[in-house]
Amino acid sequence: MNLTQWYAISLAAIAVLLILYRIGSVGSTFLMVRFQALALRHLIYPLFVQRRYWTGVTRLQGFLVGGYLGINGFCMGLGVKTTSDVISRAGMMASVNLIPLFLGGRTNALANFIGISIHSYYIAHHWIGRVVIVQSLLHVGFVIAAGQPWTFNSSQISGISAASALSLLLITSLFFLRRLMFEVFLKVHFLLAFIVVIALLEHVSHLGLTRSMFPIIALSLWSLNAMMRWGKIIYYNFGGVSHSLTPQADVFHFYDDSRTRTVSAIRLTVLLRRPMKINPGQYMYLFLSDMGIRRRFQAHPFVIAWWDDSLRATKVSFLIEPSNGLTSELIGRGSLRSVVMDGPYGKDLRLNDFETVILVAKGIGIAGIIPYVRSLTYRRVNKDKNHDSYRRGLITRKIDLYWVLEDNCQEDWVSDWLVNLQMRDSEKVLILNCTCFYPRKMKKPPPVVGDSHWRFIYQQQAIPIIEGFIKTQVQRSAGKSKVAVCGTSGFTHVLRNIVIQTMNEYKDIEFAEVEYQPHRVHHINSMATSRNWDQVEMEATNLPSQLSSRKRYLQANTENSTHFKQKFPRKLGSNNRLVEWRSEASNQLSTLKRTDEKADSVQDWDESDVRETV
């Protein structure tokens, strides 16, 4: 063939490749959208195990754990014929699996860089550790069963030491022991882990470099992680701006409404020695040096709830609910002379990639949600063209914040931050809607001026209302929507199920849990109980979820609704709107048609009660 023919064939080949590429890209996008929706609804979001004190295990996480166990079982049995094969294989597998354990049992730089959430990292650490212990005990058990003579040489003594340390690791890692003495557990766990790896290194030293390299890699990985961590700690906590003449941290206390004036929350505001870039959802490990020698070496994680408006933060605030241990000791202090911080760590949910963002919090969970509100609204007030949010542009068009308070006094925790957010949206261009649900009738004005964007409602069963809002906002959204939740495990589980049910009708919706999840929320309200499960929300899921059922439910409670409408008169729009009324044990919910959202002002506090209080 001549050159012209080759040229024609080349053009035809290029054209065919372009057509195939286009068909492939369209087909892959179509399949990806379909597969992603199915995976989210049936694999990633549903819980495989619901736990009481921590976030549950999803089906995907359960599948990965099962796959990991299956692969280890397959490798343990493949090609094994004799007892010596079992001994050798179990020891080798335990040595290999030991390597990722020495990244540590807490968040580290590598896991944070990859984007692994702290919850997923804990699951991986726990199950890898269990597999290592089982394989090590199998190794020891078959050695004993083989009847090898005991000469008590260095190899046997080190092997017994490693096996004993692993057995103690298993016992001290039991859940009830960890909760009973967590700080002691951390120190003992750390010590036993090093005994294991040093003893293992001595145990296999006579077998050559092939066997010795696994504990060496584990120690090297731990050393690298420790150097990176301490290098970051030294850089951000030593040098820079000195606060030797003034306290580095202020401690502000919030009190409940009871006669005992119990501290309901603490706000810890820390001045940074060096400016630091903060992303929403991040947290820090704090060393509080003022708490004595024992507390000086204890690091506790706290979510960053607020920081100053600058490209790199110089001041951060933590909202803490006091419980046992270190947080209870903060109650008697007004300031801290020095605070050493390790971080920030945390996975960004990247909510700015969604057109509609729905944020739901319960109680102290507002500490994990309000950073995202602050970040999403920062774009409107930021004029720095070098800032990432300015260059990227604003995708988010609507932000809905729902906060279910467990006691009315909780509004004081973030009142100044809510004022700040409302001032940012003074021209109503952010499309930021905030709804707070109070468990008791309010006796004082809300922290900010109520209007169609800021609503403060007396409501003890808020879940049905939030469910209606979510479905309506997703239906109206022109693009993708995401629901982010921060609360107790039962509360989060209910919202998760609501999103999964909504995905049956609308595909462009996603769900996320904020990394900070309260393990236990202390109920201050005397009307509430100390139950760890959210019984009110769990019972609310039994209410009708369809709009037609809601209409029938409303008609059955017309008398109670009329009474409250007379007591709290409000102007309704031209169309049907969602109006919330709470009458003792009844909950009324009408259909949501908020085409004129700016029509009226909603305030559910009684002015007469305010005058009486004053």
Could you give the C-alpha distances from 38 to 31, 34, 198, 435, in angstroms and in order?
A: 11, 6, 47, 32
At 121, give phi and psi (nearest 5°).
-65, -40
- Rounded CA gap, 121 and 127, in Å? 10
Contact predicate 482/348, CB 8 Å: no
pLDDT, tens digit (0-9, with 9 covering 90-100), for 463-510: 888 888 888 888 888 788 899 999 888 888 899 999 998 888 888 888
Neighbouring-strand partners of residue 103: none
- Residue 69 pLDDT: 92
User: Which of these, 377, 381, 348, lies nearest to 484 by C-alpha position?
Assistant: 348
Please provide the DSSP assignment of 138-188 as one string.
Answer: HHHHHHHHTT------HHHHHHHHHHHHHHHHHHHTSHHHHHHSHHHHHHH
pLDDT at residue 570 greater than cutoff 60: no
Question: Given pLDDT bands bounded at 50, 70 and 90, which one contains residue 358?
Answer: very high
d(CA 343, CA 274): 13
Identity (one letter) of the amino acid at 430? L
Exposure letters 421-455 (e unless 16+ CB within 10 A, then b): bbebbeeeebebbbbbbbbbebeeebbbebebbbb
Yes or no: say if 493 and 539 are a contact pair by the CB < 8 Å rule.
no
pLDDT of residue 526: 31
Cα dist from 165 to 20, 113, 171, 200, 206, whole Å: 59, 31, 10, 11, 21
Q: What region does 224 belong to: left with phi over 0, alpha with psi -120 to 50, or beta? A: alpha
pLDDT digits (tens, 9 = 90+) for 168-191: 888 888 877 777 777 778 888 888
- Residue pair 186/297 in contact (Cβ under 8 Å)? The answer is no
Q: In what order do the strands lie in the sheet with 481-486?
A: 454-458, 432-438, 398-404, 356-362, 481-486, 509-513
pLDDT of residue 245: 67
Reported as a single tens digit per residue, the pLDDT across 398-448 is 889 999 988 888 888 988 898 888 887 666 666 788 888 988 887 778 888
- What are all long-range contacts of 547-556, with beta carbons under 8 Å and residues at least 24 apart? 547/468, 547/591, 550/464, 550/468, 550/589, 550/590, 550/591, 551/590, 551/591, 553/588, 553/589, 554/588, 554/589, 554/590
What was the pLDDT predicted at 602? Answer: 36
Q: Is 430:398 a contact under the CB 8 Å cutoff?
A: no
For residues 159 and 140, the answer to whether their CB atoms sit within 8 Å is: yes
Alpha helices (H) in 256-365, listed in sequence order = 293-296, 326-329
Pairing mode, strands 432-438 and 398-404 = parallel
Model confidence at 587: pLDDT above 70: no
pLDDT digits (tens, 9 = 90+) for 23-33: 776 666 666 66
Distance in angstroms (rounded) separating the CA atoms of residues 579 and 565: 10
Query: Environment class of residue 35 by beta-carbon count within 10 Å: exposed (0-12), middle (13-18) or buried (19+)?
Result: exposed
Question: What is the C-alpha separation between 204 and 340, in angstroms, rounded?
Answer: 40
Hey, what's the torsion of the CAs at 269, 345, 515, 40, to 10 degrees?
A: 150
Question: Among 559, 566, 597, 590, which Cα is nearest to 576's?
Answer: 590
Residue type, 550: R
Helices (H) and strands (E) in the chain, counts: 20, 17
How many Cβ atoms sit within 10 Å of the Cβ of residue 116? 17
Tokens of 409: 């006094």
Average per-residue pLDDT for the chain: 75
Residue 553's pLDDT is: 34
Mark out the alpha helices in 238-314 (DSSP H runs). 293-296
More confident residue, 33 or 580: 33
Least confident of 41-55, 525-539, 545-559: 525-539
DSSP string, 419-431: HHHHHHTTTS-S-
In this predicted structure, what is the pLDDT of residue 389? 52
HEC sequence for 569-602: CCCCCCCCCCCEEEECCEEEECCCCCCCCCCCCC
Q: How far is CA 462 from CA 362, 438, 467, in A?
A: 10, 9, 9
Lowest mean pLDDT among 16-20, 104-108, 205-209: 104-108
* Residue 529 pLDDT greater than 70, yes or no: no
Q: What is the pLDDT of residue 402?
A: 93
